[in-house]
Structure 1
Amino acid sequence: MLTSTLLATVPTPLEWSPTVGIIMIIANILAIAFGKFTIKYPRSAPAVPAANFFGGFGLPAVLATTAFGHILGAGIILGLHNIGRI
């Protein structure tokens, strides 16, 4: 009885779509922009090969901002899916 009630409340899984990809890209761009103004030492070693594509960041700053961007993007995507917008 309880198992069938729990299974009935499980939402449908989220399918990947271009909208999901665009939201993740925008979230990462916002996180990189936020990091550009808040990271104290953005050019710490080791350097990335094409630093101009990432705002002149070193590898630690790139990893930190993109990790934050993925967390932010996952939250936005799951939140929008939960309220039925995507």
Structure 2
Amino acid sequence: MLTSTLIATTAAATPLEWSPTVGGIMVFCNILAIAFAKSSIKIPNAPPAMPASNLFGGFGLPAVLASTSFGHILGIGVILGLHSIGRI
């Protein structure tokens, strides 16, 4: 019961729809997160390796998952923040 109430409240509180602007912000935030990860991850090529590692900057699977997860969290924050102040 509490979970359904929480989901209904969250869904009603964010009436933001996808647009090219939202997609561009998310892509930018992921690129920023990957650049940050490139300089801060201690072992970026930890196994298992990605199938075409040159496309992923030499990152292994853990680094790709970590950096893109961080990028999405950062992107959600930026998008919701910009939406709440009326910029998008």
TM-score class, shorter: 0.7 to 0.9
Q: How does 1:1-86 map to 2 (within 5 A)?
A: 13-86=15-88
With the length of structure 1 as denominator, give the TM-score of the two structures. Answer: 0.85
Indicate the RMSD between aligned Cα atoms, in angstroms: 1.3
Equivalent AA in structure 1 for residue 40 of structure 2: T
Percent identity at matched positions? Answer: 73
In structure 2, distance between residues paired with 1:80 and 1:69: 16
| Displacement after TM superposition at 1:64 (Å) | 0.2
3-state SS of paired residue (1:56): coil
The aligned length equals 77
Larger Rg over CA atoms: 1
Which aligned segments of 4 or more residues in structure 1 are displaced greater than 4 angstroms? none
Identify the range of structure 1 (48-57 vs 64-73) with the bigger mean alpha-carbon deviation.
48-57
Give structure 2 stretches of 5+ with no counterpart.
1-11
| Displacement after TM superposition at 1:12 (Å) | 6.2
More helix by percentage: 2
- Distance change >3 Å, CA 12–CA 74, structure 1 → 2: closer
| Displacement after TM superposition at 1:43 (Å) | 0.3
